[in-house]
Amino acid sequence: MYLITALGNYGEKYTTTRHNAGWLVLDAMLGCNTGWSHSKYANADYFHDEITNIPIEYIKPHTMMNLSGQSVSYATKKHGLRSDHVIVVHDDMAIPMGQIKISYNRGSAEHNGVESITSALGSQEYTRIRIGIGNRGLVPLKNYVLMQFSDDELVQLRNLAPVVRKALETIITKGVEQAMNEMN
C-alpha cells in the first residue's frame, strides 16, 4: 500500500491559492467529486483506489499546511507504512509554472508542510512530486504562496494531472529512481 498526500490549506479562501497546487492537481487527476470521506482522527479527507492493483490511500490534510505531518503520521501508523511508501504532492516555487519534479530523500527547501511531514515521520526518506508554481520575484514568500492562481495558471495545473498520474504509476510500479530518470 502507498499513501499519497496532497498538500494544501483547508478552507474556501485557499481553494485556488498557490499553496494548494497539490490539492488542485490531485482533484484534477481523480475528479473533484470522487468519493472522498473524512477522518476526524487523521483530520483529513481520504479516498481509496488502486494503481496497477496496488492499494492507494489518497489524503488531503485539513490541518493547514504547517501541520500536515499530523495527518500523515496518523495514516502511516494506521496502515503500518514505512516512509518510503509515502508520496507527497506539493507546490514548489523553484520549479517553473506547469512543470513537475520528483525527488526522494531530500531536504524541505524551507517548505513548512514538507518540514512537518519529515518531522512527523522522523525521516525524509519519502518521495515528493513537486508542482511548479513559478518564481515569486520580489513578492514576500508568505504572500506569494497565498496568492490566487490566474485562470490560465489553473488550466496549466489541470493539464499536469495526467503527468502526475504517470509519475505515480512509475514510482509505484518501477521505483522512484526510474520515475526520476523518466520525468525529471
Which residue numbers are catalytic? 19
Residues 6 or more apart from 174 whose CB is under 8 A from it? none
Q: Which residues of 120-141 are buried (b: 16+ CB within 10 A; e: fewer)?
A: bbeebebbbbbbbbbeeeeeee
| Phi, psi torsion values for 30, nearest 5 degrees | -95, -20
| Cα gap 32→36, rounded to integer Å | 9
CB 147 within 8 A of CB 18: yes
Beta strands in the chain (DSSP E): 2-6, 37-39, 44-51, 54-61, 86-92, 100-104, 127-132
Give the chain's length: 184
